[in-house]
Amino acid sequence: MTLILPSDAALSAVGADTARSGARVGEARGAVRMEVRNLCKVFADDPRPALALLRDGAGKAEVLARLNVNVGVVDASFDIRAGEIFVIMGLSGSGKSTMVRLLNRLIEPTAGSIQLDGRDLTALSKNELVEVLRRDLSMVFQSFALLPNRTALDNAAFGLEVAGVGRDARRDAAMRALDKVGLSAYAHRYPRELSGGMQQRVGLARALAKNPSILLMDEAFSALDPLIRTDMQNELLRLQREQARTIVFISHDADEAMRIADRIAVMEEGRIVQIGTPAEIITNPADEYVRAFFRGVDPSRVLRARDLARCDDRVTLVEEGEDPIAALRRLAERGVGYGYVRGRDGRFLGVLSRAEGTILNRPEPVAADAPLHSLLRRVATAPCPVPVVDGGGRFLGVLTRAALLETLDRGDDPRG
């Protein structure tokens, strides 16, 4: 039997797009930067009765009805890792803005702790906090918060001015930031001369000019029209990729969240009801609220081959070096037409066809990172489940028509 291997080109094209790379020097990508534990915010002079009710399992509505106290955030615990885009989603009033304002202590927490790089933010003095905010955290607000009597340039430079940076240096940095958001031609215009979307971009430029390691963005793109919005999302992904910036991003928009998030936290009535990758959330929503939120999202644009790759006992593996006659007999005994040949190093080597009695180099393997929508035709027309390999050409499993249809159908079924 001849071993016909898929071409190297086919294998190396696979998985070219591995991790979003490039951590900051001295900072491991994925290391925990912020550690939030049991964070609560209730808006009351004396928060104790409300906290007691919440501890007993009361919801936001009940606390409001019984104590006339507004609940912002309830018992939130999560980590934010270096270099990730962490998206917070939820309906209006679910506590998203309160949450990010707690992260930089624009709002003081009622209970719980927030650590930044291992330092307890809630325990810092005002001066220490100012120092940390200057160095590490910048916020882009839901309302643009521009100063009306200053030009776009001076607005973009404002954060640096507050931080005590000299005039020329801060104007240079502000100009570069305006350029990044496509507004250098408007540097000397006043906010009233700019559209809402342009004002929002000035707000973003202000945050970028400070070059913070963590960017907090509250609905920063919501006033932008769809084309500019997509541009800005791409810009954000580029910034994150190149500079490994950590970004906490609030959004109302399920498609936006799915597009840019490494992980998503879904909030409901002040509580976080689920945290997961876009793929986890779409394949396994924690409850009906989460499912409803993402119902309109096309799963084939979110999920990748790896998310559906299966390697269970329904997949017949043939190991390199195994006697071909014995392997073919095994296929016959199991009543299957194909076996997947795996090298000693785990690399995928081809498909053993029972009918043809040989190893084929088709169907060609697909990359683990390939989005499902790009694979529909290949999976539909292949004679057998399509092999999936990682960036090193290692066999991860197969993609079956059934798994694909089931996933796509579940995403579209209005009954969930």
Ligand X SMILES: Nc1ncnc2c1ncn2[C@@H]1O[C@H](COP(=O)(O)OP(=O)(O)OP(=O)(O)O)[C@@H](O)[C@H]1O
Q: Which is nearer to ligand X, 83 or 90 (CB)?
A: 90
Residue 88 C-beta: closest distance to ligand X, Å: 8
Contact set for ligand X, span 126-185 (CB under 6 A): 142
Nearest in space to 271 (alpha carbons), one of 284, 256, 286, 292: 286
Burial classification of residue 357, based on how many CB atoms lie within 10 Å of its CB (0-12 exposed, 13-18 middle, 19 or more buried): exposed
96 touching ligand X, by CB under 6 A: yes
Q: Using CB under 6 A, which of the segments 48-56, 87-95, 197-205, 343-351 binds ligand X?
A: 87-95
Q: Which residues pair with 338 in a beta bridge?
A: 353
What is the four-CA torsion angle of 290, 294, 300, 301, rounded to 10 degrees?
A: -120
Residue 234 C-beta: closest distance to ligand X, Å: 24
What are the residue ranges of helices labelled H in 223-298? 226-243, 254-260, 278-283, 288-293
d(CA 328, CA 410) in angstroms, rounded, equals 36
278 binds, among Mg ion, ligand X, none (CB under 5 to 8 A by kind): none
Q: Please calculate the CA angle 263-274-215 and round it to the nearest 5 degrees.
A: 40
Q: Which is nearer to ligand X, 109 or 350 (CB)?
A: 109
Task: Determine the size of the site formed for ligand X (CB under 6 A).
Answer: 12
Q: Using CB under 5 A, which of the segments 8-16, 90-98, 154-162, 300-308 binds Mg ion?
A: 90-98
Contact set for ligand X, span 258-297 (CB under 6 A): none
Q: Using CB under 6 A, which of the segments 88-96, 176-184, 205-213, 304-312 binds ligand X?
A: 88-96
Contact 203, 146 (CB under 8 A): yes
Residue of 33, 50, 85, 97 that binds ligand X (CB under 6 A) = 97
Contact 306, 386 (CB under 8 A): no
112 binds, among ligand X, Mg ion, none (CB under 5 to 8 A by kind): none
339 touching ligand X, by CB under 6 A: no
Contact set for ligand X, span 39-68 (CB under 6 A): 43
Q: Which is nearer to ligand X, 43 or 52 (CB)?
A: 43
93 binds, among Mg ion, ligand X, none (CB under 5 to 8 A by kind): ligand X
Q: Which two tokens stand for residue 71?
A: 């609940």
Q: Using CB under 6 A, which of the segments 48-56, 85-93, 195-203, 398-406 binds ligand X?
A: 85-93
Residue 54: how many CB atoms within 10 A of its CB? 24
Q: What residues have CB less than 8 Å from 264, skipping those under 6 apart?
A: 86, 87, 88, 89, 257, 258, 274, 275, 276, 277, 278, 281
Contact 387, 310 (CB under 8 A): no
110 touching Mg ion, by CB under 5 A: no
Q: Which two tokens stand for residue 365?
A: 């393997």
Residue of 15, 47, 83, 95 that binds ligand X (CB under 6 A) = 95
97 touching Mg ion, by CB under 5 A: yes
92 touching ligand X, by CB under 6 A: yes
Residue 97 C-beta: closest distance to Mg ion, Å: 3
How many angstroms from the chain centroid is the CA of residue 246? 11
Q: Which is nearer to ligand X, 15 or 72 (CB)?
A: 72
94 binds, among Mg ion, ligand X, none (CB under 5 to 8 A by kind): ligand X
Q: Which is nearer to ligand X, 53 or 318 (CB)?
A: 53
Contact 190, 149 (CB under 8 A): yes
CA Rg, the chain, in Å? Answer: 26
- Footprint on this chain of ligand X (rule: CB under 6 A): 43, 70, 72, 90, 92-98, 142
Residue numbers at the binding site for Mg ion (CB under 5 A): 97
